[in-house]
Amino acid sequence: MRTLFHHPLCPFSRLVRVVLAEKRLEFALQAEKFWEARPEFVALNPASETPVLVEDNGLVLCDGLAIAEYLNEIHRDPALLPTDPAPRAEARRLVGWFNYKFHVEVTDQLLGQKVFRRLGCHRAEPDSRRMRAAFAAIHDHLDYIGWLTERRAWLAGPTFSLADIAAGVQISCLDFIGDVPWDDHPAAKDWYARIKSRPSFRPLLADHLPGLPAPRHYADLDF
């Protein structure tokens, strides 16, 4: 069967899990401590990063966005990017925003220090200035989500898209460690409640890591 090498708190692994579920594709999950650079895993992905998807025919796919684009091209229903080039570009702009800007400014700082460093993944020393900057930046990002969803049904336009998935998975990882200031951002919270209630997102809410319990609201649809 199609196998996804993933880590439960890797946002890009979560991106692919949600895309696969939206497309109603079956897959087996294999958890990978990517930082250990297991030789068989490095042979699949020389970056030694999750996610890696191995298709039934043996095709090996790496990089969350590359995998998502591939799945969206091969399995067209439901479409996770608009058909017309201009709205597609808008969706991809927001995918880039959350995959890169949000990840670098927020997720990688907070999750990197609080989770991956603790698990043994090599990281730079904790830097209190960078952590403070991340806690400040998350407010700007949640404000922007609120601003967008006051103007559009979903982040990139009238339909649910890869932009919502890209944003939702980054935020879901931070929510797992209780770092999302929901009380200050009701519009973003409303949007995330809709994301959480999608069947494709439910499996993420059941994730658990030994020794790192998620806060009670994490899996609660009415949080």
Q: How far apart are alpha carbons 7 and 21 in whole angstroms? A: 17
Under the binding rule (CB under 8 A), the answer on residue 76 touching a copy of itself is no
Q: Minimum Å distance from CB 70 to a copy of itself? A: 4
Instruction: Using CB under 8 A, count the residues that bind a copy of itself.
Output: 36
- Which one, of 140, 214, 146, 129, lies nearest residue 176 by Cα? 214
Under the binding rule (CB under 8 A), the answer on residue 124 touching a copy of itself is yes
Q: Minimum Å distance from CB 64 to a copy of itself? A: 8
Other CB atoms within 10 Å distance of the CB of residue 50: 27
Rule CB under 8 A: choose which of 2, 23, 119, 144 binds a copy of itself. 144
Under the binding rule (CB under 8 A), the answer on residue 104 touching a copy of itself is yes
CA dihedral angle for residue 117, residue 52, residue 201, residue 76, rounded to 10 degrees: 150
Under the binding rule (CB under 8 A), the answer on residue 73 touching a copy of itself is yes
Rule CB under 8 A: choose which of 76, 101, 118, 208 binds a copy of itself. 101
Rule CB under 8 A: choose which of 2, 33, 88, 194 binds a copy of itself. 88
Under the binding rule (CB under 8 A), the answer on residue 201 touching a copy of itself is no
Q: What is the largest CA-CA distance in the chain?
A: 48
Q: How far apart are alpha carbons 80 and 64 in whole angstroms? A: 14
**30: helix, strand or coil:** strand
Under the binding rule (CB under 8 A), the answer on residue 130 touching a copy of itself is yes
Q: How far apart are alpha carbons 130 and 110 in whole angstroms? A: 9
Burial of 150 (0-12, 13-18, 19+ CB in 10 A): exposed
Q: Minimum Å distance from CB 143 to a copy of itself? A: 10
Q: Left (φ > 0), alpha (ψ -120 to 50) or beta: where does 24 sit?
A: left
Q: Minimum Å distance from CB 160 to a copy of itself? A: 18
Identify the bridge partners of residue 154 per DSSP, sorted by sequence position: 157
Q: Which is nearer to a copy of itself, 129 or 216 (CB)?
A: 129
Helix (H) or strand (E) holding 164: helix 162-176
Segment lying near a copy of itself (by CB under 8 A), choices 25-33, 56-64, 171-179, 199-207? 56-64
Residue 158 preceded by cis peptide, ω within 30: no
Q: Which is nearer to a copy of itself, 157 or 215 (CB)?
A: 157
Binding site for a copy of itself (CB under 8 A): 46-47, 49, 59, 61-67, 69-70, 73-74, 85-86, 88-90, 92-93, 95-97, 99-101, 104, 124-125, 127, 129-130, 133, 144
